[in-house]
Structure 1
Amino acid sequence: MKNDSKIYVAGHRGLVGSAIVRKLKEKNYTNIIGKTHSELDLTNLLEVEEFFKKEKPEYVFLAAAKVGGILANSTYPADFIYKNLQIQNNVIGMAYKYEVKKLMFLGSSCIYPKMCPQPIKEEYLLSGYLEETNEAYALAKISGLKMCQFFNKQYGTKYISVMPTNLYGPYDNFHPENSHVMPALIRRFHEAKDSNVPEVVVWGSGTPLREFLYSEDMADACIYLMETYKENEFFNIGTGKEISIRGLAELIKKIIGYEGRLVFDFSKPDGTPRKLLDVSRLEAAGWTYKIELKEGIKKTYKWFVENYINNQKGI
């Protein structure tokens, strides 16, 4: 990519997309396109084709998706598979038709089998059954990954897929019910401290192990691969480190300064017991993460208070 190349970031207002835009600007890329949902509905093929025909982007980061936590995935599986397939099919198909030079598809570590050997290597894809609570989303992301590989194989395109671990950071979804575990806990502990609530309830047993990557690191990895990688493999993106949900909750509790009790609701699902990515392929390609978990949570909480909370209060 050249500094003046036309780069389209689909989903530029989301957690990953906004981080990619910030990182591109930091690296002096000057011709970045972003469209809101009201400006461009990515589930509408006619609108997507008109956009590609008019704008002719040279590079595409496909970070747009319908996302959510365990509750949202379990409650709306039809929406998760249908809308994500629509977005992927439309953007990848039109990228090919209008000769995009390079495209990056952002997937998720949930594509791997529920009882996968740990740490999870890329070659473990499709080697077992998926986790039931997010099967619909995972199937959509697997389809997007395979579509990129098959376009490369049949048409000689240069489409890259990346499978990030659990992400967090500025512009995350902090909805009390439909968010992922990190932003959900940040909001829950903040509100409990603010209202002097005596206890915070965390779903499940607290024993599952999870890996977390700060969104700015994710963006850095994505741009690095777009600048340097030319083959047909896909990449895990993560830290190679894990923490239990209990450990995460205790860390967030300490950072926020909440002094009440921590209670675990064993009636709620845990999800996959362990999900640690093997990032050796990415490290061999020349990239490693920079921001440790404690620092990343502090940065995220600061953004949450300054932007999300203050906006709600009209400050």
Structure 2
Amino acid sequence: MTEKKNTQAVEPLDRSKKIYVAGHRGLVGSGLVRCLEKAGFKNIITRTHAELDLTRQADVEAFFAEEKPDYVILAAAKVGGIHANDTYPADFIMKNLQIETNVIDAAYKNQVQKLLFLGSSCIYPRDCPQPIREEYLLSGYLEKTNEAYALAKIAGLKMCAFYNRQYGTHYISVMPCNLYGINDNFALENSHVLPALIRKFHEAKIHHAPTVTVWGSGKPLREFLNVDDLADACLYLMDHYDGDDFFNVGYGKEVTIRELAELVKKVTGYEGEIVMDPTKPDGTPRKLTDISRIKATGWEPKIDLETGLRQTYEWFCERYETGDFAQR
């Protein structure tokens, strides 16, 4: 066990200082930018992939040396669904390790005051006890289909912890559950379950389809957190926490896939029938994060699933006709 830092007198982030958000165009990064702007940050630094390739060490070091950000939130990553993770594991481990090591080390070399690293709840063993506590990390075998991505995220988490131990840095890691919200990816070929359902039900409604088919038995349980809640949690920890723990960030409650489909049907106003297809795979039966640790710091999620879905669906509808609804 590492010695805990004094967390009694944490200074909140100075809203006038430079904060770099890596990965600002994705679901999480864009949510973070909205949150920071709302909180009064005036000097938010962003770069597109075309402007700064985070896998190139020399480019990252030059960027940090020039910009000298005071704070960093690392939301950039190579991400994908089960098929992509399973098909291109070398790409997933290599590119994510490159991004993490380049950004975290450059932050240290340039005296960044505080850094937050975003991982994923897929870091935990495949057959984890439920709900999943942070202590279960490295206690069993990973899910093979996303092992490469999970290993890279574990490495990033551990890198932050070891830099804190060796150099006295102030780096925090958070592991979110399934996320959804504004700027999600609604492309059916590679989106996650919730945005895929929103699009399927919307298109069934506008085309007057009598049924919508949902994969599996509908029995698996899933936890969903609105991305604006995640962003709020990240800023809360940056403002109030200065210890060595990492944190699950989730909603703390779960719904079955069937219940989720019924809720999406309600939100979209679809009037047809839901048909479950039990010949299709269910996936993991249950995956719920234990959020006791972050709740003990004083943070709790605020956006209930139906409210968050209505906000997300409204955003999706505004962009559907132009096709401007896939993740950038």
Q: TM-score, normalised by structure 1?
A: 0.95
Residue 264 (structure 2) pairs with residue 258 (structure 1): no
- Check 1:72–1:198 CA distance in 2 against 1; reply closer, same or farther (3 A cut): farther
User: How far apart in 2 are the matches of 1:313 and 1:281?
Assistant: 38
Q: Is residue 188 from structure 1 mapped to residue 192 from structure 2 by the alignment?
A: no
Specify which of 256, 259, 284 is matched with residue 244 of structure 1: 256
C-alpha offsets along residues 269-313 of structure 1, whole Å, 9 cap, x if unaligned? 333211111111101101001010000000001011113x13328
Q: Which residue of 2 aligns with 1:202?
A: 214
Superposition deviation, residue 71 in structure 1: 3.2
- 2:69 equivalent to 1:64: no
Q: Which amino acid aligns with 1:58?
A: D
Aligned to 1:227: 239
Aligned equivalents of 1:74 and 1:261: distance in 2?
A: 33
Q: Contact 1:70–1:271 at 8 Å: present in 2 too?
A: no
Distance 1:155 1:115 in 2: 35
- Taking the TM superposition and a 5 Å limit, the aligned residue runs for 1:1-315 are 1-307=13-319, 309-312=320-323
Percent identity of paired positions between Structure 1 and Structure 2: 66
Aligned-partner Cα distance in 1 for 2:201–2:94: 34
Unaligned runs of 5+ in 1: none
241 and 313 in structure 1: CA distance in 2 versus 1, 3 angstrom threshold: closer
Unaligned stretches of 5+ in structure 2? 1-12
Letter in 1 for 2:159: M
- Structure 1's consecutive aligned runs of 4 or more residues displaced over 4 angstroms after TM superposition are none
User: For the residues of structure 2 that align with 1:20 and 1:313, how far apart are their CA atoms?
Assistant: 20
CA 1:272–1:24: 2 relative to 1, 3 Å:
same
Contact map agreement 1:210 1:243 (CA 8 A) in 2: yes
Bigger mean CA offset, 68-77 vs 136-145: 68-77
1:76-125 CA distance string (max 9 Å, x none): 33322222112111111211111111110001111111111111110011
Residues 131 and 272 in structure 1, CA contact (< 8 A), matched pair in contact too: no
Cα distance, 1:86–1:313 mapped onto 2, change above 3 Å: closer
Shift of 1:140: 1.3
TM-score, normalised via structure 2 length: 0.91
Flag the 1:132–1:249 CA change in 2: closer, same or farther, 3 A: farther
Deviations 1:110-145 (A, max 9, x none): 111111111111001111112222222211111111
Q: Deviations over 1:46-94 (max 9, x none)?
A: 2111111110111000011122233333333332222211211111121
